[in-house]
Amino acid sequence: MLGPRQVYVTPFDMSRSGGLKLQFVTPLYKGAKLLGYLLFGVGSPTFLQRLEEIRSQTPAVELMLFNSQGQLLCAAACSAPLHVSETLSSFPGSDSGVVKTKAGTLVYKTVYPLNGLESVVWSGDSNKSIGSAPGGKRNDYRFRAAAFIPDDLVSGSISLAHLGLEARANLLFLGVAAGWLAVALLRLREERDRKQHILQLAVDLYNNAPCGYHSLDPHGTVLLMNDTELGWLGYSRDEVIGKRKYPEFLSSPEAAKRFMECFSAMVRGASAPPETETRFQARRKNGTLFDISITPNCVRDADGRFVMSRSIVNNITERVRLEAALEQEAHLDALTAVHNRGYFMKLAELQLTRAQRKNEPISLLYLDLDHFKAINDAYGHHTGDQVLRHSCRLISRSLRAGDIFGRMGGEEFAVLLPGIAAHEGVAVAERLRRLVSKAPLPVGDDGEIRVTISIGVADFSTDGPNLDALLSAADRALYRAKNRGRDRVESAAGFALNAPISA
């Protein structure tokens, strides 16, 4: 197995119609983890052509190229004799010479293709420039070009001296070819490092994206999850990858069930269109909750079978809080924090429809703060606002959770009482009237403002077939209470429960 920064060079492939092909293989690592292999091919039809030309001139002589370890890289016409293998790892230490084998003689010369270059910067060692001094890394890139002369040729009519001249010429060409090979190796290393750099950038982008990414197998088990989402959840990679199903990170069994229903539909091919956002609450390792949105997509094979899902996850906690705040602002009166008129009317319509369907009673109280204009004139609008807030707090605290309290405008308010008939509604109104009148608002150091309210009561079953009619009936009862001295309750049916409280 190749280690980091090692390159395997295959023998020349001369079987292709495109010409000579030299293959390089090098591993791609991230740290100590093997990511895959890079295969890189270099072709040179001209080189093959030249080898063939040389061999055609001296058909009995084999031309070969060895690397620095004595491994045979190529031979002309791919006819290198296997019987020279015993010499491949035992070249003499000199740069040129003659080696006698069992089958013939090798005349060789060592070529250093990088010598003569001003500077070579090696990948992964950018602080070092390799010069041409002997023994440096530059000299590790060397090749031995050789001519193999069979014994039967030497014993024949051709003399070794005669062949030596032609062999030296051929060796010169092979030296040039060795240089081409070395440059190709350097380019291969640069290409490998460039691709490793791009791969690292892609990994960094995936892990440090502002959103979460995860991939799930058909059962919902986490195959991949980026550092961003792991950080949100508070888990390490080893705790999650291949060990947990994604629904385990959701806030409740109901949320997990809803997730698996959507996920199973996607696995079957019946998923919602891409870019469909689904919201969930996720639970961190420490038990706290946060809001997320998941936008899923899936990978399928050529036959349409589900392979895995890939999802984008956004932490929408702040968005949910903002939406809730905006919704509250849209529904509540800014001064008193009770429902505004529009939202009161919407909720009241729903309750009236429900009461009508179930034949249940429902009452409406219409309230007005007595002499409010005089309070504003005497104390100013700031104090008038305090009076409104004070009265609303008193009333809100005494109502049930299902009662609906809204500001209809100015100092007028309405309370809808589901399940309360007319006579009970009058009793509730009297209790509210007494509560407000007995709790004056402190003003200044020693002063106070005594506030009273008048209330009109209407019953849905007798006073109006719809909300508008009910409001009109309660409003008429309110003005009857005001005309009869204020600080009292009147019903649309025409009876009052109390007499005014004396000052």
Q: What is the mean pLDDT of each run of 10 residues along the chain (503 residues)?
A: 67 52 70 75 53 59 70 55 48 72 74 52 40 46 70 54 52 60 75 87 86 94 95 96 96 94 87 71 96 92 91 94 87 94 94 90 96 93 95 96 96 96 93 96 86 94 78 94 94 58 33
Which residues 6+ apart lie within 8 Å of 252 measured at CB?
A: 281
pLDDT score recorded for residue 38? 75
Read off the amino acid at residue 140. Answer: D
Residues 308 and 360 in one domain: no
* H/E run at residue 14: none
* Residues 452, 436: Cα–Cα separation, whole Å: 6
pLDDT score recorded for residue 318? 94
Distances in whole angstroms, Cα of residue 153 to Cα of each of 100, 148, 172: 14, 10, 22
Please give the DSSP secondary-structure letter assigned to residue 177. H
Please check whether residue 283 lies inside any domain of the structure. yes
Please check whether residue 41 lies inside any domain of the structure. yes
Looking at 185, 205, 225, the residue that finishes a domain is 205
Residues 186 and 261 in one domain: no
Please check whether residue 115 lies inside any domain of the structure. yes
Please check whether residue 409 lies inside any domain of the structure. yes
Please check whether residue 497 lies inside any domain of the structure. no
Can you spell out the DSSP letters for 58-125? Answer: STT-EEEEE-TTS-EEEEGGG---GGGGGGTT---SSSEEEEE-SSEEEEEEEE-TTTT-S-EEPTT-
pLDDT score recorded for residue 52? 57
Residues 173 and 228 in one domain: no
Residues 305 and 344 in one domain: no
Residues 174 and 248 in one domain: no
Nearest by Cα to 311 from 246, 253, 371, 250: 246
* Spacing of C-alpha 334 from chain mean position: 38
Backbone angles phi, psi at 116, to 5 degrees: 100, -20
Range of the domain at 240: 212-321
pLDDT score recorded for residue 275? 59
Query: How many structural domains is the chain composed of?
Result: 3
Please check whether residue 496 lies inside any domain of the structure. no
pLDDT score recorded for residue 435? 96
Residue 385: which CATH number?
3.30.70.270
Residues 195 and 50 in one domain: yes
pLDDT score recorded for residue 471? 93
Backbone angles phi, psi at 218, to 5 degrees: -60, -15
pTM tops 0.85, yes or no: no
